[in-house]
């Protein structure tokens, strides 16, 4: 381009009018040369600018990253300080009762859970999670919290989330061995609103949590506000002493204890809505007019062991609560325990966070996913002191014993089928309606589930 301009300028000089040359005015030639030099500089500047624009290359790390895969949709800023992830959980169940005390309407297909999961990170160390649930008969907010990570061993969580007491309850919903959790979970608090200090102390192979919550009755989830003025303290410590050190066959051993303590003043919401079977039928309820009134503490020793395809989980739970009816009051203590075991028949490793197939389901390639056989036994014992003043011995059982066997088929990391059969027997009860009808005979129920988790 610059040469074209120079040629035009020079040709203009060469074809200048004869009169100009004849008059012999050297100033005109000097002016023309200065114009040519100025044009040359402008052309060079333009070409330099054009080269800068056309030769721009992307600088690594300056653009956000977008991912779509088995973990859902994820967007991450270039510096990784901001992360937004959209995941989901859908569980479609079938319950078929062979024996249920003659209760009508139990056999059903149901949408057990339908949860969009929105989570992420802000400013590098502030995590958040928001989980509504559209399963069941009403929409609920299950998780809604912020979590500040100062260090892995020192974190602060605030909002609504799982209270740190029960072992199986703290296991994520998509990876539990059975469709429904065992009887000890009925005695621990559910999700509640509060503040929790927690962390993983890697040098000690220790997980800990200590929080202050509104407080909820056994097996209940809290609402967005408290039902009375007192608070509940809940905490848990859990050790995995041989993880990443020691014999490999002991690396999957973990044990600990959870617990809670609080005070309730004359409020029925501090009581359980009822203790239920595997088939989610209440076999025990308090009599109308009974309220929680006084101290309520829980203690939950717990352990698990994972070694290759083998798994073992055990827990024992105590719930001791002061109850009142009219002028009569008493401290009652209920207990429950369970042992659950499993074996991955296709050889994959079992873990507290589930099973990942080595060969995802693809019949055309001769791949069928992973298959796990599971079994468990559990008991829940009601304090005999609740009868007959605080509960009707004809309508509510004083104990329940349940065993279950099941088969879990993992197609891949996102899709899982499972089927199980559970049988629950009862001590006491057997007459009247409500829980009494449930306890007339053993409950036998077949569960099937199709699950999508991403």
Asked whether the predicted pLDDT for residue 290 surpasses 90, the reply is: yes
pLDDT computed for residue 51 by the predictor: 62
pLDDT at 16 over 80: no
Asked whether residue 90 carries a pLDDT value surpassing 50, the answer given is yes
Which SS3 state, helix, strand or coil, does residue 142 take? strand
State yes or no: pLDDT of 328 exceeds 90: yes
Residues 6+ apart with CB under 8 A from 344: 309, 350, 355, 370, 371, 372
Provide the pLDDT for residue 59: 53
Select the more confidently predicted residue: 312 or 226.
Answer: 312
Q: Which pLDDT score is estimated for 431? A: 78
Q: The tokens of 430 are what? A: 């057997």
CATH fold of the domain at 68-453: Porin (2.40.160)
DSSP annotation of 263 reads: E
pLDDT of 12 higher than 70:
no
User: What average pLDDT does range 188-207 have in this prediction?
Assistant: 97
Q: What is the pLDDT of residues 423-437, one digit of tens each?
A: 999 999 877 776 778
Q: Note the pLDDT of residue 129.
A: 98
284 CB-contact burial (10 Å; exposed 0-12 / middle 13-18 / buried 19+): buried
Instruction: Give 18's Cβ-side CA count (13 Å radius).
Output: 0
Q: According to the per-residue pLDDT averaged within each range, which of 9-23, 231-245, 434-448 is highest? A: 231-245
Q: Quick check: 18 pLDDT over 60?
A: no
Per residue in 371-428, pLDDT (tens digit) is 999 999 999 999 999 999 999 999 999 999 999 999 999 999 999 999 999 999 999 9
Whole-number Cα distances in Å, 325 to 101, 268, 334, 396: 29, 11, 18, 17
pLDDT score for 23: 44
More confident residue, 245 or 167: 167
> How confident is the model over 223-246, as a mean pLDDT?
90
d(CA 328, CA 29): 119
Backbone angles phi, psi at 7, to 5 degrees: -60, -40
pLDDT mean across residues, the chain: 90
- The model's pLDDT over 126-144, given as tens digits with 9 standing for 90+, comes to 999 999 999 988 899 999 9
Domain boundaries, the chain: 2-54, 68-453
When mean pLDDT is compared across 18-32, 191-205, 245-259, 332-346, the lowest value belongs to 18-32
Q: How confident is the model at residue 40 (pLDDT cuts 50, 70, 90)?
A: confident
């Amino acid at each position: 381009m610059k040469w074209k301009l120079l040629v035009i300028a020079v040709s203009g000089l060469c074809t200048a009018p004869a009169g100009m040359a004849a008059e012999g005015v050297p100033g005109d030639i000097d002016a023309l040369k200065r114009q040519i030099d100025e044009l040359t500089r402008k052309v060079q500047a333009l070409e330099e600018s054009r080269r800068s624009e056309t030769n721009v290359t992307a600088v690594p790390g300056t653009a956000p990253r977008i991912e779509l895969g088995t973990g859902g949709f994820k967007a991450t800023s270039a510096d990784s300080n901001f992360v937004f992830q959209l995941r989901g959980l859908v569980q479609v169940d079938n319950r078929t009762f062979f024996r249920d005390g003659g209760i009508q309407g139990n056999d059903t297909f149901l949408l057990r859970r339908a949860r969009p999961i929105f989570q992420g990170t802000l400013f590098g160390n502030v995590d958040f999670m928001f989980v509504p649930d559209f399963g069941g008969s009403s929409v609920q907010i299950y998780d809604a919290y912020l979590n500040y990570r100062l260090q892995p061993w020192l974190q602060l969580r605030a909002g609504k989330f799982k209270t740190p007491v029960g072992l199986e309850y703290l296991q994520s919903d998509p990876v539990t061995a059975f469709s429904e959790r065992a009887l000890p979970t009925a005695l621990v608090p559910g999700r509640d609103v509060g503040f929790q200090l927690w962390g993983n102390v890697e040098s000690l192979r220790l997980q800990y949590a200590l929080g202050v919550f509104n407080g909820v009755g056994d097996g209940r989830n809290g609402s967005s506000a408290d039902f009375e003025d007192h608070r509940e303290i809940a905490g848990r410590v859990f050790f995995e002493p041989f993880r990443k050190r020691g014999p490999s066959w002991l690396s999957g051993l973990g044990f600990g204890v959870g617990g809670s303590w609080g005070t309730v003043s004359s409020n029925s919401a501090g009581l359980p809505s009822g203790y239920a079977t595997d088939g989610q039928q209440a076999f025990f309820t308090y009599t109308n007019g009974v309220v929680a009134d006084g101290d309520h503490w829980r203690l939950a020793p717990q352990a698990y062991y994972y070694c290759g395809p083998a798994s073992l989980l055990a827990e024992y739970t105590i719930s001791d609560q002061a109850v009142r009816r009219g002028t009569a009051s008493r401290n009652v203590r209920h207990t429950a325990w369970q042992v659950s075991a499993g074996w991955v028949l296709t050889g994959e490793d079992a873990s507290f966070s589930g099973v990942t197939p080595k060969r995802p389901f693809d019949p055309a390639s001769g791949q069928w996913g992973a298959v796990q056989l599971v079994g468990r036994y559990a008991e829940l014992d009601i304090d005999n002191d609740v009868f007959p003043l605080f509960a009707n011995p004809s309508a509510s059982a004083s104990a329940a014993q349940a065993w279950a066997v099941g088969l879990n088929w993992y197609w891949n990391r996102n899709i899982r089928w499972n089927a199980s059969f559970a049988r629950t027997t009862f001590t006491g009860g057997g007459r009247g309606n409500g829980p009494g009808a449930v306890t007339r005979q053993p409950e036998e129920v077949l569960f099937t589930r199709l699950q999508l988790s991403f």
